[in-house]
Amino acid sequence: MSVMRTAGSSNPPLADTARALSQIAKQLSEISRVLSTRVEDGSPEAEVLNKSGEKLAHISRDLEDLQAQNAGGVTEVDEPVQLRKQILDNLLRKGPALPIELAAATLSLPEEIRPVLDRMEQEGLIDVQDIGGGRLVSITAKGRAEARR
């Protein structure tokens, strides 16, 4: 099986497909998360929804990492992994923080850290609460376990 590139197309069809699947996985993960809050805690349905949401979040991350790899090295795959670790470590040591504080602590720009925080929130590693004019990021039990690994 071969993938054909069309003239004038900067992305091969496979990259476009991966991007679309990543978006779909993110949306389904969010739907699973919302639905799991509407069913009784500990019920089989809630467990299935939680597991499905986690799997979809991982699929989305894997697809994004694959896209980054195939982009010709424009985005380093290890960089988001390292940034995630730095964020979790910082939250574990210092407690809740504003995104701008996490960006400073990780020597990142707010634009660089925002998608990483969004993904970490979808995966249940962090909790983001709207406060007075900003957002406060805190680590979850799942995030603590991940940080200690």
pLDDT single digits (tens) 67-107: 666 665 444 445 688 899 999 999 999 999 999 999 999 98
Q: Give yes or no: residues 90 and 137 share one domain.
A: yes
* Pairing of β 126-131 and β 134-139: antiparallel
The whole-angstrom separation of Cα 57 and Cα 30 is 9
Q: Are residues 115 and 81 in the same domain?
A: yes
Structural domain includes residue 7: no
Dist CA 24 CA 145 (whole Å): 27
Range of the domain at 100: 76-149
Asked if residue 80 and residue 16 are part of one domain, the reply reads no
Percent of the chain with pLDDT over 90: 34
Residue 56 lies in a domain: yes
CATH code at position 101:
1.10.10.10
**Within a domain: residue 115?**
yes
User: What pTM value is reported for the model?
Assistant: 0.50
9's CB contacts (< 8 A; 6+ apart) are none
**Do 91 and 138 contact (CB within 8 A), yes or no?**
yes
**Are 141 and 81 members of one domain?**
yes
Q: pLDDT tens digit string along 47-60?
A: 777 777 777 776 77
